[in-house]
Structure formats: structure tokens, C-alpha cells
Amino acid sequence: MRRMVTCAAIAAALMFGGAAIAPKRAAAVPVIPIGTLMVSIGNGLVQEWDTSTVPPTFVALLDTGKVSFTAGSVFDVAGNFFVTDFDAQAVSKFDPTAALIGDFGSGYNLDPESLIVNAASDLFVGQADGTHHILEFNPAGALISTFAPAPEGRGTDWIDLASDQCTMFYTSEATHIKRFDICTNTQLPDFNPVPLPTAHGFANKIRANHEVIVANSDEAPPFGSEVTRLDATGNQIQHYTASSIEPLNATPDLFALTLDRDGKSFWTGDGNNVFKVDIATGNVLTKFNVLTDCVKCGVATGVGGLAMKGQIQVSNPPPVCTGATASAPTLFPPNHQFVTENVLGVTDVSAPFTINIDGIKQDEPLNGGGSGHTCPDGKGVGTDTALVRAEREGTGDGRVYHIAFTATDINGNSCSGNVSVCVPHDQGHGGRCVDEGSLFDSTKCPK
């Protein structure tokens, strides 16, 4: 199997190709941007690629300092980056600027391969060999739980966590996506009732809509290889074959996989090639080679893992804006004073978030009859707090403010919404307002 690279082979690659490795990213640099694709390439190395360009652009090289096959990786909510050092029996941690911190956790039994972070920022590690246990560490790196899911072909190679924060999906280099409840310590039925099309299931990711995408390959004649898409109940609904992704490769072995943060595509790797594939159509949107499409970017022994900062998946969903309300939804009396309005009710199970006020509008003219001729009636666009004036037309049916906002978590995932504020004409009839729509910009005074 491709990832079983011997230490001697890695050492030889370093000996003959080490001069091509670039200096490591300096500590005094900006944090790794949202949308960056991290590519594990072996030899203790991870490449950082800017996916805002087509094709992507090589940015920097991270080095764990170990002569090891680097495999699965993940970002935590603070922006720290973790990668498994497969045959060094370790996990390496980098800070948000990609500066190496050092080893994270300890007690790995044999061949840690994949990583996932839960909503509490605990880190889970799947292991391909030895006990095959999944290990759970707290953010400080202390081991807090050990789980023993049933293996199929090998171990708990590639793991991902469902939105319930309990159901762990994992592949075991065989034909099923298996499941284990880490909350009750119970083995669950396999996710897919029909075996995968090829012999070995590898990297898998749960989409925000609960679909699952998994790379799988035969790794032997007839060299069947594909990425398979399954619906939320485990039925296979789409096949992205290697013959369509890389038609010139006679011995394909699609292995690594991650989701793009656009929610519409995924990235997969085979050998030294990385492909971005449209989920709906199966079209290859872009591709690059980790050896030939960059300079001073390390000596690759093969793409062993992929991770995108800010990818949207079921364990890392965006904020939810549907329950948003204004902190003071009704203003009375209409004394023409500004009142502070905060956006409440936005939730995010996976990460802290910030609020930005995008706009403030109202359903009455700013200087309508009996409104006091004060202007503007709204402030705070571009900040996290809105200010709206407690006033309405004396001859109207109450004023309604519409405050547009965007909530963005630290992974770059966002949602947008509107909250309304009523300034009733009086306190009779329940103090209601008749909303006539977002007709006038509250922040701009008429000329």
C-alpha cells in the first residue's frame, strides 16, 4: 500500500533531494488563511497551497522534523494545525502561523493515521495497526478516552465525526464505512449496506447534508479506484471513477480526500497528483502535482492526506441564523434617542463567531411627517452592534427597522439574516407595527 513507505526509502529521498526543500515558514507571518489546502507528502512534510488561484499556488512547506509518512491532518477552532506522523508513532502540532510547536499527545500504539476535532476541541486519532484503538485527547494533549471499535480489514484508519458528536464513522481498509458510538462506547451497524465498489476504503468525509464521500481503491489488478458518494442512509448515489478523474493513469489509487469549503466540491489525491472535483457533475475543476508544479516544495513520497482550513462538513457546520432576534425588538416611547441593538439567537456548535452589521433599513422616510426631522436614524454598519432611533411618523402605523447582519465563525463559515425592530405608533392594540418593507436606508440622510 502506498503509505507503507520504509524509513530507508524516506531517508534516501531526503539524501538525494534535500536541497530542494525551502526554508520553513517564519513565525512572524500571518496565520494560515481560510481556504488553504494542506497536503501531506511524506518525509515529515506538509505543503500549504493557496486555492484562491486556478490552479492552486504553492505557499509554504511545513516540517514535523521526523522521517515519517505524514498522513491525516486537521485544524482546531483556534487555527492550530495537527498532522499524523504515521510511522513515527506521533502527532505534530503547528500554531496558526504554521510554526512547529512539537509533539501532541502520546501513547500511540501503532500507525496513527487520521484526525478529527469535536465541538469541545478534543482531538480524536484513528490508528491503522496495533490495538486499532481511537484515542481522544483534550486540547492540552492529555489522553482522556480510549475506544475499541471493531476493525474490518485493518484498523480505525480514517475517522470522521457526525453532527451528534457521538457517532464516529471510520474505514478499515475494507468495503464498509463502519460506525461506533463514542458516547455509549457501543459498536453500531455499518453505514453502507452494499459494499464499496473496490476492496479498500480510505479517507472519508461527512458533508453538511449528512451525505458521505469516501475514496476507495483495489491497489492491485484490475486497479479499480474511485471516490464514492453515499446519501444520508448509506446508499451509493454517485461514482467518481479514476478513469474520469485521471484517465491516463493505468494503476490509479485514489487515497486522500477532503471537502472544499464551497460545499460543492471535494479534493482527492493519488500518487503526487491532487484533483478538485465538482460534486454535482464529477468534472475535474483543477489539479496540481506536488512535485512538478512547485519549486523548493520538498521531496514527496506521495499524497498521504488532505485538509482544508474552514471546510464545511457535518462536524464543522456554519453558524445558524434562523433563530436570530434583536435585543430590544420593541422601542417605546418614541423619544428620538438612539437605542443599542445586538443580534441575539445565532448559534454555532463548532466554533466561536462574530457578528457584522451589514445594513439598516426602515419602512418610513427618514424625515416623514411627525418624526422629529432627526437624521440619520441608524448607525453601526460594519460593526457588531446597531444603533436605531426610537421614533416613528406621527401620522403613520409604526416604524419597522430591518437590521441585516452576517455571522462568521473562526473557520470562515458564515450565515446571514435580518432582525426587525418595531417602534409602535402608540401602546394601544398591542403596540404593533405594520411592516411595509425595507424601503429606506436608515444610515443616509435625504438631500
pLDDT tens column, 7-44: 334 343 433 333 333 434 444 468 999 999 999 999 99
pLDDT given for residue 7 in this prediction: 39
The torsion angles phi and psi of 213, rounded to 5 degrees, stand at -120, 130
d(CA 210, CA 208): 5
Give yes or no for a contact between 177 and 190, defined as CB atoms under 8 angstroms apart. Answer: yes
d(CA 252, CA 242): 6
Q: In what order do the strands lie in the sheet with 212-217?
A: 200-206, 212-217, 225-230, 236-241
pLDDT given for residue 372 in this prediction: 65
pLDDT given for residue 286 in this prediction: 98
Q: Domain 7-308, what fold?
A: Methylamine Dehydrogenase; Chain H (2.130.10)
pLDDT given for residue 212 in this prediction: 98
pLDDT given for residue 16 in this prediction: 34
Tell how far CA 322 is from the center of its chain: 21
> Whose grid coordinates read 394601544?
428
| Contact residues for 233 (Cβ-Cβ < 8 A; gap 6+) | none
d(CA 155, CA 315): 22
pLDDT given for residue 371 in this prediction: 61
The type of residue at 210 is: H
d(CA 128, CA 89): 11
d(CA 181, CA 158): 16
d(CA 138, CA 293): 38
Taking the alpha carbons at both ends of the chain, their separation in whole angstroms is 72
Query: Residues 238, 257, 134, 86: is their CA dihedral positive or negative?
Result: positive
| Contact residues for 31 (Cβ-Cβ < 8 A; gap 6+) | 79, 96, 97
Total number of residues shown for the chain: 447
> What is the residue extent of each domain of the chain?
7-308, 325-441
d(CA 339, CA 386): 8
Nearest to 219 by CA among 239, 198, 240: 198
> Whose grid coordinates read 500571518?
30
CATH of domain 325-441: 2.60.40
Give yes or no for a contact between 162 and 178, defined as CB atoms under 8 angstroms apart. Answer: no
d(CA 56, CA 278): 16
Q: Are strands 177-181 and 186-188 parallel, antiparallel or unpaired?
A: antiparallel
| Contact residues for 35 (Cβ-Cβ < 8 A; gap 6+) | 50, 51, 52, 261, 308, 309, 310, 412
pLDDT given for residue 349 in this prediction: 72
Query: Residues 335, 336, 342, 346: is their CA dihedral positive or negative?
Result: positive
pLDDT given for residue 103 in this prediction: 98
pLDDT given for residue 153 in this prediction: 96
The mean of the pLDDT values for the chain is: 91
pTM (two decimals): 0.80
β strands within 190-283, DSSP E:
200-206, 212-217, 225-230, 236-241, 256-259, 265-270, 273-278
Q: Which residues of the chain have pLDDT under 50?
A: 1-28
Tell how far CA 268 is from the center of its chain: 15
Tell how far CA 228 is from the center of its chain: 20
Q: Are strands 36-42 and 45-50 parallel, antiparallel or unpaired?
A: antiparallel
d(CA 283, CA 247): 12
| Contact residues for 33 (Cβ-Cβ < 8 A; gap 6+) | 50, 309
The type of residue at 279 is: I
pLDDT given for residue 387 in this prediction: 98
pLDDT tens column, 92-125: 999 999 999 999 999 999 999 999 999 888 999 9
Nearest to 185 by CA among 146, 233, 214, 218: 146
